[in-house]
Structure 1
Amino acid sequence: MQGRLLAALIFAVVCVGGYALWWLVVPAVVAAIFHLWSIIDAAKYRSSD
């Protein structure tokens, strides 16, 4: 676990909320951007250990 629980929670809430409102298009686009951002953020993570 990376230890960034607040960031993960925010990403999850935005993505789930946006994908739940997919028929409005704009929330789905915002969710897709946040989804990609979270993937990149996780891939670039460097542990302090």
Structure 2
Amino acid sequence: KFALLQTKKPLDIVFTIDENEWNGESTLQLKVIDIRLTAPVEKEVLTAVN
């Protein structure tokens, strides 16, 4: 799936937000569950939204 990141195309990413504790520091981290290329949006849908 890493290859998808190199395509420079829009992606859909599913993730969870977790707290990461390390060496006495606490930070937020995103845990990626899945990645896929964004499905193309049909022109008719875009017209309806605008």
- Tell me which interval the TM-score lies in, with the shorter structure as reference length: under 0.3
User: As a proportion of its length, which structure holds more helix?
Assistant: 1
Give the TM-score taking structure 1 as reference length: 0.22
User: As a proportion of its length, which structure holds more strand?
Assistant: 2
Give the TM-score taking structure 2 as reference length: 0.22
Structure having the higher Rg? 2
